[in-house]
Amino acid sequence: MSKGLVKFDEERCKGCELCISVCPVKILTLHETRINSKGYRPACVTDVSKCIGCANCAVMCPDGAISVYNEAEMSSTSLKRTDVRKFSTAENFLRMRYKEEQGGRKDE
């Protein structure tokens, strides 16, 4: 079972391949046949079962085109989208990381 779910907003993608370059398990690629309205081949995932949910791709994407859902927080009985931690943008992801690193410190 995968540990992460990756979703792309294909219309925001400009095919820069930055996400592809930072995926540690090499499961991202540009779509073979699909072209978005801007004329780019959008990024896509080839084998989501290998995704480790690291969110490197979402952090790297300059256009906020990637959402990573951390499957660790989904229970087998409740797979509601609203229950899934979402790193919809790099900003959200970095904010989460910051909070974890601060360990609850209140000196911001």
Residues near ligand SF4, by CB under 6 A: 4, 6, 8, 13-19, 22-25, 27-28, 43, 45, 51-57, 60-61, 63, 65-66, 68
Q: Looking at beta carbons only, is 63 or 105 nearer to ligand SF4?
A: 63
d(CA 88, CA 56): 12
Task: Look up residue 69 and give its two tokens.
Answer: 């859902």
Q: From the CB of 107, what's the least distance to ligand SF4, in Å?
A: 31
d(CA 81, CA 85): 9
Q: From the CB of 82, what's the least distance to ligand SF4, in Å?
A: 20
Q: From the CB of 92, what's the least distance to ligand SF4, in Å?
A: 14
Q: From the CB of 86, what's the least distance to ligand SF4, in Å?
A: 12
d(CA 65, CA 90): 10
Q: Looking at beta carbons only, is 55 or 86 nearer to ligand SF4?
A: 55
For 105, the 3-state DSSP assignment is coil
Q: Looking at beta carbons only, is 45 or 86 nearer to ligand SF4?
A: 45
Q: How far is CA 13 from CA 23, 42, 108, in A?
A: 16, 5, 34
d(CA 25, CA 94): 21
